Amino acid sequence: MISIENVSKSFLAKGAEAFTALDDVSMRIRDREFFTLLGPSGCGKTTLLRIIAGFDFPSAGTVRIEGADSSALPPQKRPVNTVFQSYALFPHMTVAENVAFGLQMQKVVKSDRQARVAEALRLVRLESMASRLPGQLSGGQQQRVALARALAPRPKVLLLDEPLSALDLKLRREMQGELKRLQQETGITFILVTHDQEEALAMSDRIAVMSAGRVLQMGAPREIYDNPKSRFVADFIGESNVLPGATVGHGADIMVAVRPERIALSMLASGLPGKIRGTITSITYLGLDTLYEITLDNGERLRSRSRQSISGLDAGQAVILDWPSDAERHLAN
């Protein structure tokens, strides 16, 4: 559906050196895919989305949409629509008028317009609110109006730039499910931008993890979680302990990553086997699981998570840590 080929983007600032926001980015996004650009603030996600939408143009490289070079096409000529971070509804227009707005711009005839507004409002479950003003809606409902407005022109690709970041946690979780359902029901290709790794893992068919203008890794959520290829990805997706190889019996030229939930603890005094010794520095009960912070004899710190709290363990106690060898990921140092 979308092919990004060696796209770079530099911004020129007066009296300063050019700043590279995207550095040789390539990816292919499939028809009907829920694809996510994930990375910390400033890594270039919005810049890439704007280039796909046509609000900005690459300094180098090509954007293809359905096979055709679209790098120089203006936004309205692309079968793409965007839901922005701030949903910016017109406050003096009703919900239905807000949703119809883009259709008027596109010169869709009135009878067709009404049918499409009704369809879009049904999709986001706001049929009963068509004649309200945005000020009479909750934040979550306003977000749905913004979604309906973007869906009404029936784009082939919907770009979503941190669309849930203004919502509180509970509503955000609920809207994640809604977005997923919308994507499946409409068959539209979704490209979501987020800095929230949980959101990306929960919703996406595939994720591109970005850092400093580059794509570090691309794959299905499970694949990225289970097989991070770099320290950045291991740290950014979920939680990882990253230890020097020599600390855990490997060469000094690698780092070893182990997820906290794969590390088992037992009291040193129990005599049970394990890979390495340490001392518990803190125990935090987190509801679903318990987090143990441990300082190794060489001063390295790591974390272990367990579903059951382990009886008899206390801060200050000497422990032995163990994990199966398939829990280790070896990263280049």
What does 155 interact with, of ligand ADP, Mg ion, none (CB < 5 to 8 A by kind)? none
DSSP state of 175: H
Minimum CB separation of residue 46 from Mg ion in Å reads 3
Q: Of 41 and 325, which CB lies nearer to ligand ADP in the complex structure?
A: 41
| Coil, strand or helix at 246 | helix
Phi, psi of 38 (to 5 degrees): -120, 130
The H-assigned helical ranges of 124-220 are 139-151, 169-186, 197-203
What does 143 interact with, of ligand ADP, Mg ion, none (CB < 5 to 8 A by kind)? none
Contact of 10 with 47, CB cutoff 8 Å? no
Question: What gap in Å lies between CA 169 and CA 234, rounded to an integer?
Answer: 24
Question: What gap in Å lies between CA 35 and CA 200, rounded to an integer?
Answer: 9
Q: Of 7 and 126, which CB lies nearer to ligand ADP in the complex structure?
A: 7
Q: Of 50 and 173, which CB lies nearer to Mg ion in the complex structure?
A: 50
Contact of 314 with 265, CB cutoff 8 Å? no
DSSP state of 41: T
Contacts with ligand ADP, residue ranges (CB under 6 A) = 11, 19, 21, 39, 41-47
What does 21 interact with, of ligand ADP, Mg ion, none (CB < 5 to 8 A by kind)? ligand ADP
Q: Of 46 and 217, which CB lies nearer to Mg ion in the complex structure?
A: 46
| Coil, strand or helix at 104 | helix
**CA 177 to centroid of chain Cα atoms:** 14
Q: Of 48 and 319, which CB lies nearer to ligand ADP in the complex structure?
A: 48
Show the binding pattern over residues 161-200: x = contacts Mg ion (CB under 5 A), - = does not: ----------------------------------------
Phi, psi of 108 (to 5 degrees): -75, 135
Our finding on whether 36 is near Mg ion (CB under 5 A) is no
Which range of residues in 43-51, 65-73, 86-94, 301-309 is near Mg ion by CB under 5 A?
43-51
Q: Of 161 and 328, which CB lies nearer to Mg ion in the complex structure?
A: 161
Question: What is the edge-to-edge ordering of all strands in the sheet holding 329-332?
Answer: 241-244, 254-258, 329-332
Write down the residue that tokens 């422990």 correspond to. Answer: 319
Minimum CB separation of residue 150 from Mg ion in Å reads 17
Minimum CB separation of residue 105 from ligand ADP in Å reads 25
What does 177 interact with, of Mg ion, ligand ADP, none (CB < 5 to 8 A by kind)? none
Minimum CB separation of residue 215 from Mg ion in Å reads 16
Minimum CB separation of residue 49 from ligand ADP in Å reads 8
Answer for which of 34, 37, 44, 46 binds Mg ion (CB under 5 A) is: 46
Question: What gap in Å lies between CA 309 and CA 290, rounded to an integer?
Answer: 6
Q: Of 211 and 240, which CB lies nearer to Mg ion in the complex structure?
A: 211
Question: What gap in Å lies between CA 47 and CA 22, rounded to an integer?
Answer: 8
Nearest to 206 by CA among 193, 220, 217: 220
Minimum CB separation of residue 45 from ligand ADP in Å reads 3
Minimum CB separation of residue 276 from Mg ion in Å reads 40
Binding site for Mg ion (CB under 5 A): 46
